[in-house]
């Protein structure tokens, strides 16, 4: 009954969707323009690098290098579009779960789906890791997935978990997930081509020497210098562009999460807990780190680490959300305007982070007065562990003595005895 009531409440909150959809439309349009811009910039660096590298190795072979660069770009683009999410989920060790595996997590995802106005329920995945973190991926809202770690389920209470899920659904709604996949592939292509160029120049020095004795030696030497400069600068410039736009998208997702949950403090508290985690996230790399809510490679010890590349400083994100909560408490409404104003105050700048047109018609939603009660830590840990066991085909048997027997899939017996009350149970067939 509580779940049904909560869902109806979220549907009522969805009545602000006319203004909200207008805001989202403007943000999505702005994001698409920036995505096209960065993809074209990276394609430019890739093509120029390919041309110059080929020309430096073999005078007159520039068009061949350009063609090779184009093929690499096209293949990486197609792979990222059609299989990027599957590859990322596999590399991260994520396993898909069903509602019966963790009803609370599914309820939260469904609530945030309704609040965000998404038409499709994302697939839900879990990662066996003590490091609290989460990400969203997929090429479209219809093909989207959300993944959380067991460490996140264990450490966060319900309102904090809502904030994290809302942030990830904000990425889905803002069409950031396709951008992340495509741009990561473009970055990989540029780095790959630069690496191949370095190796070929080292292993092909004898060719350069033989050609330098001919008439075109000076021109080839110039091309070699240009190639070396491009191999160093192209990946660096592409990364700087990528990082700048990625940080902006994190701010937008934070703002969206605050509106979906109507409780900015929830996400702020969650970010603090994630940032003060000392557990390493296995499977995270420079290629996958931008996908997570907090950069797993920038977290160290019990500090709020601001030296991060793809994400804004965590302390700034938390301060903006808390300032937004203060502004919302005064007006009683959670709005994009409040987030933009908080951003300007915290970063001490006159330029906001949200597109100007998206702030028009922003009537906001009522602020949620208090957070929900916190579930005991031991219960959250047990639920997270149980979810993993269910995904790994463990059979759960409830005993009258309130013991929950967890039978591994390798067990071949038809009966099992409770170690506490000695009651014999028949193992249900799967």
Q: Are 145 and 137 in contact (CB under 8 A)?
A: yes
- d(CA 298, CA 309) in angstroms, rounded, equals 8
Contact of 197 with 300, CB cutoff 8 Å: no
Separation CA 249–CA 233 (nearest Å):
24
Q: How far apart are CA 172 and CA 123, in angstroms?
A: 12
Which secondary structure element, helix H or strand E, spans residue 169, and what is its range?
helix 158-173
φ, ψ at 416 (rounded to 5°) = -145, 145
Torsion over CA: 259, 249, 132, 272 (sign) = negative
Distances (CA, A) of 379 to 156, 157, 370: 12, 11, 22
Cβ distance 156 to 226 under 8 Å?
Answer: no
Whether 168 is catalytic is yes
Q: Which residue among 168, 250, 265, 383 is the active-site one?
A: 168
Cβ atoms of 345 and 353 within 8 Å: the answer is: no
Residue 225 makes CB contacts below 8 A (sequence gap 6+) with none
d(CA 126, CA 167): 17
Task: Note whether 178 and 140 are within 8 A (CB).
Answer: yes
Parallel, antiparallel, or unpaired: how do β-strands 333-334 and 145-149 relate? unpaired
**Contacts of residue 371, Cβ cutoff 8 Å, sequence gap at least 6:** 157, 159, 263, 265, 266
Please give the Cα distance from 353 to 356 (Å, whole number). 9
Query: H/E element holding 123?
Result: strand 123-127
**∠ at Cα 214 (210, 220), nearest 5°?**
75
Q: Are 153 and 52 in contact (CB under 8 A)?
A: no
**Rounded CA separation 240/244 (Å):** 6
Place of tokens 């059609």: 82
Alpha carbon distance 52, 267 (integer Å): 47
The C-alpha atoms of residue 126 and residue 51 are separated, in whole angstroms, by: 43
Residues classed as catalytic: 168
């Amino acid at each position: 009954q509580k779940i049904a009531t909560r869902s109806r409440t979220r549907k009522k909150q969805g009545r602000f969707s006319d203004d909200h959809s207008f805001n989202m439309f403007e943000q999505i349009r702005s994001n698409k323009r920036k995505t096209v811009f960065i993809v074209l910039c990276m394609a430019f660096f890739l093509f120029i690098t390919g041309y110059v590298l080929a020309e430096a190795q073999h005078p007159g072979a520039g068009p061949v290098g350009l063609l090779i660069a184009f093929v690499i770009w096209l293949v990486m683009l197609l792979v990222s579009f059609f299989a990027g999410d599957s590859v990322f989920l596999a590399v991260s060790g994520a396993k898909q779960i069903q509602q019966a595996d963790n009803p609370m997590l599914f309820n939260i995802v469904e609530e945030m789906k309704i609040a965000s106005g998404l038409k499709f329920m994302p697939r839900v995945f879990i990662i066996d890791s003590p490091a609290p973190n989460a990400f969203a991926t997929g090429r479209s809202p219809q093909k989207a997935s959300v993944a959380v770690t067991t460490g996140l389920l264990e450490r966060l209470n319900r309102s904090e978990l809502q904030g994290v899920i809302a942030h990830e659904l904000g990425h889905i709604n803002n069409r950031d997930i396709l951008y992340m996949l495509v741009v990561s592939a473009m970055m990989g292509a540029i780095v790959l081509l630069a690496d191949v160029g370095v190796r070929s120049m080292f292993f092909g020095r004898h060719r350069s020497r033989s050609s330098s004795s001919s008439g075109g030696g000076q021109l080839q030497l110039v091309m070699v210098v240009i190639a070396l400069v491009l191999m160093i600068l192209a990946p660096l410039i592409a990364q700087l562009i990528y990082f700048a736009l990625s940080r902006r998208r994190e701010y937008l997702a934070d703002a969206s999460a605050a509106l979906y949950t109507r409780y900015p403090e929830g996400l702020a508290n969650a970010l603090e807990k994630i940032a003060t985690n000392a557990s390493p996230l296995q499977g995270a790399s420079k290629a996958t780190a931008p996908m997570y809510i907090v950069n797993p490679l920038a977290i160290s010890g019990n500090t709020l680490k601001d030296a991060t590349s793809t994400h804004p400083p965590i302390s700034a994100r938390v301060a903006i959300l808390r300032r937004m909560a203060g502004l919302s408490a005064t007006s009683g409404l959670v709005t994009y305007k409040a987030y933009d104003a908080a951003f300007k105050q915290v970063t001490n700048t006159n330029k906001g982070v949200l597109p100007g047109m998206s702030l028009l018609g922003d009537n906001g939603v009522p602020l949620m007065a208090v957070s929900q009660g916190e579930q005991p830590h031991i219960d959250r840990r047990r639920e997270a562990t149980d979810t993993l066991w269910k995904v790994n085909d463990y059979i759960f048997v409830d005993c009258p003595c309130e013991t929950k027997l967890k039978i591994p899939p390798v067990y071949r017996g038809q009966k099992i005895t409770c170690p506490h009350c000695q009651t014999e149970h028949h193992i249900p067939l799967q």
